[in-house]
Amino acid sequence: MEITILTVNNVWMMVCTALVFFMHLGFSFLEIGLTQKKNTVNILFKNFFVITAGLLMYALGGFNLMYPGFEEGSAGILKFAGFGITAPEGGMGFGYADGGYTWWTDFLFQGMFAATAATIVSGAVAGRIKLTSFMLFTILYVGLAYPIVGSWKWGGGFLDTMGFYDFAGSTLVHSVGGWGALVGIYLLGARIGKFDENGKPRVLPASNIPLAASGVLILWLGWFGFNGGSVLSADPTLTSLTLVTTCIAAAAGGISSAIFANILYKKYDLTMYMNGILGGLVGITAGADQMSPTDAVWIGLIAGIIIVLSVAFIDKLKLDDPVGAVSVHLICGIWGTLAVGIFGEIAGLGQFMIQLKSILIVAVFCIISAFIIFFTIKSTIGLRVEKEEEAKGLDLSEHGMQAYE
C-alpha cells in the first residue's frame, strides 16, 4: 500500500484511539453521577485502575493472546512482544497491520477497547465491592477472558470461521463486560436499602445528574472512534456510513426510550433517555457498517424499548445494577448482535442462527469465567465490604477521604 494512504489511515485510527480512550471519562462520569456521593472516590479509583492496569495487562500479554498472528513469516503480531520488545526488526517501526496502519496504533486502539470491558463491570458492582477484589477481577478478566473471547473472532478463530459478524463488539466487548457485570451483581447482592422489606425496589438518589448526562454525551463522542475506528482504515464510505448509522441509532434509542418511559410512567425520565441513547449505541455496534440509516432507526428504536423493559425486569429479579450496565451493555449487546441477522446487508435466517449460536457460546464462556473468578475471590479474600463500611460509604472506608468539600 502506498505511504500516503497508510498515513491517512493511521491518522484516522489514532484519532479514534484517542476518542475511545476518552470514553473512560464518560464511563466515570456516568457511574459517579448515577450513584451516591459517598462512593465517588472509590468509583474513580476503580476506573483509573481499569484504564492503567488494563493497558499494562494488554501490553504484557493480552494483545498477543487476542491476535495470535496471521501468516507464517509475516511481520505479524506475534513479533509484538509486549514489554519484552527492545528493538524490533527494522528499529521501532516494524511494519504495518493489514488495515494499513502501524502495529503500534493497532495495539493502542485494541488496548483501549480491552479496558472498556472491565469498566462496564465497575458500574454494576459500585457501592459494595471490595476494592482489592475488584482489582483482582479486572486483572484476570481483562488480561485473560476478554482477549481469549476476542481471539475467537477478531484473531481469526472459530467464531470467525463460522461466519459470525460483530463489527465493533456488541458481543465481543459489550456483552463480555455485561456478563461479567451480571455475575458480579448476582454474587454480590443488592446494596443496603435498594429493596424494601417487601422486596420492592427503591430509587437510591443519583448524586450528580449533570455529570451522568455529560458521561452519556462523552460516550457518544467516544463511539465515533469506537465504531468509526473499527473500520480499521479511513475508507471514506465505510467510516462515514458507520458514523451516520451510529448517531442515528443513538438518537432513535434515546427518543424511543423517553417516549416509552413516558407512556409507562407518565413522566419525562432523563435517566431512561440517557440509557436509551447508550442502548442505541450498543445496539448498532455489531452492524454499524452494514446498515442503512433506516435500519439504524429501527435498531435504535427497538433498543430504546428494550432498555425500559430490561431495567424494570432486572429490578424484578431483585438484582441491583446502579447504572443499568446489564440492560445497556448485555441486553442491548445481544439485541445488536441478533439485529445483524435481521437488518442490513447480510441479514437472513442463516446469519441470524450464527449470531445466536455465537452469543450463546460467548455467554457460556463469560459466565463460567466470571463466576470462577468472582467465586474464588468471594471464597478467599471476600467480595463485599462490611455493612458499616457500605453505610458510611467506600470513600471514607477504603480511601479515607471525601469527594466534595
Choice from 211, 312, 346, 367 touching a second copy (CB under 8 A): 211
**Shortest Å, Cβ 285 to a second copy:** 17
Q: Is 384 in the site for a second copy (CB under 8 A)?
A: no
**Shortest Å, Cβ 265 to a second copy:** 9
**Shortest Å, Cβ 53 to a second copy:** 6
Q: Is 7 in the site for a second copy (CB under 8 A)?
A: yes
* Residue span 278-317 as binding mask against a second copy, x where in contact by CB under 8 A, dash where not: --------------xxx--x--------------------
- Length of the chain, please? 405
Q: Do 153 and 354 contact (CB within 8 A), yes or no? A: no
Q: Which three cell numbers stand for residue 23?
A: 470514553
Q: Is 89 in the site for a second copy (CB under 8 A)?
A: no
First CA to last CA distance, the chain: 56
Return the biggest CA–CA distance within the chain. 68
Q: Is 116 in the site for a second copy (CB under 8 A)?
A: no
Candidate ranges 146-154, 199-207, 327-335, 366-374; the one touching a second copy (CB under 8 A): 199-207
Considering only residues 227-266, where is the footprint of a second copy by CB under 8 A?
Answer: 228, 234-241, 243-244, 247-248, 250-252, 254-255, 258
DSSP notation for 131-171: HHHHHHHHHHIIIIIHHHHHHHHTTS-HHHHHT---SS-II
By beta-carbon proximity to a second copy, the closer residue of 184 and 254 is: 254
Q: Do 283 and 303 contact (CB within 8 A), yes or no? A: yes
Q: Is 220 in the site for a second copy (CB under 8 A)?
A: yes
Q: Is the dihedral of CA 91, 97, 99, 105 positive or negative?
A: negative
* Residue span 14-53 as binding mask against a second copy, x where in contact by CB under 8 A, dash where not: xx-xxx-xx-xx--xx--x---xx--xx--xx--xx-xxx
Choice from 30, 39, 55, 340 touching a second copy (CB under 8 A): 55
Q: Return the residue matching grid coordinates 468539600.
A: 405
Angle at 202 between CA 196 and CA 207, to 5 degrees: 135
By beta-carbon proximity to a second copy, the closer residue of 107 and 165 is: 107
At position 387, the amino acid (one-letter code) is: K
Closest by alpha carbon to 108, among 43, 184, 213, 20? 20
Q: Do 45 and 127 contact (CB within 8 A), yes or no? A: no
Considering only residues 132-171, where is the footprint of a second copy by CB under 8 A?
Answer: none
Q: Is 405 in the site for a second copy (CB under 8 A)?
A: yes
Q: Return the residue matching grid coordinates 484516522.
A: 12
Where is 101: in which H helix or E strand? Answer: strand 101-102
**Shortest Å, Cβ 349 to a second copy:** 20
Candidate ranges 96-104, 168-176, 194-202, 356-364; the one touching a second copy (CB under 8 A): 96-104
Choice from 61, 69, 76, 104 touching a second copy (CB under 8 A): 104
